[in-house]
Amino acid sequence: MPKIPSIPFCEEMPSYFILGETKAEIKLSNAEEYRNAALSLASQARYNINIFTQDMDDPIFNNDDFENHIFNLATRHPNSKIRILVQDSSTAVRKGHCLIRLAQSLTSSILIKNPPQTHKNDKSAFMTVDSAGLLYRIHADNYNYDGSVNFMSAQRAKKLEDFFNEAWEHGVPDLQVRRLFV
């Protein structure tokens, strides 16, 4: 398979990249680049988003724009799904993370689980969108933002979705994020 040359990410680029069409591996190196890439992918999502995260990645996913994109996807169609596998949500719960609030109100569209013990040591983080787009960090446990985004990487996205689906099947609902009725 030929290697796709990587290009640096800049703020103007997201509008030029089209989910499911643009084949380019874009290198990312900081939280702002990751946030912009996540926003661009989420804004183009039509069916589903899967997020595998260590701690809900507050600098990337806890903002009004991302919350709006997730809300729009979740309410657009009854079959839309946003699934999140989080290693430890305690800090996100304490900070009132927007995705947790959404999951508590849109319980059929946004689901949060903890991965099974067999995946507890996995330190990567990723987001797949519509089985095509992919946002990926190799080491997400230390706020290292070296990684990449690709708007058309169906083969890699499928591989990560297979991993995600297996972990999801054996995962358990995150009890820290459940909604308590008083």
Predicted confidence at residue 177, as pLDDT, reads 86
Number of domains in the chain: 1
HSE-CB at 85 with a 13 A cutoff on CA atoms is 26
Residue 131 lies in a domain: yes
Range of the domain at 83: 26-146
Q: What is the mean pLDDT of residues 95-106?
A: 94
162 belongs to a structural domain: no
SS3 state of residue 43? helix
pTM of the model: 0.90
Examine residue 38 and state whether it is found in any structural domain, yes or no.
yes
pLDDT of residue 85: 98
Distance CA 141, CA 146 (A): 12
What pLDDT digit, counting tens, does each position of 117-160 carry? 999 889 999 999 999 999 999 888 777 899 999 999 999 999 99
Contact 125, 115 (CB under 8 A): no
Helix (H), strand (E) counts: the chain: 6, 9
Q: Is residue 182 part of a domain?
A: no
CATH number at residue 130: 3.30.870.10
Q: Give domain status of residue 44, yes or no.
A: yes
Instruction: Answer whether residue 132 is part of any domain.
Output: yes
The verdict on residue 53 lying in a domain is yes
Strands 25-28 and 6-8: parallel
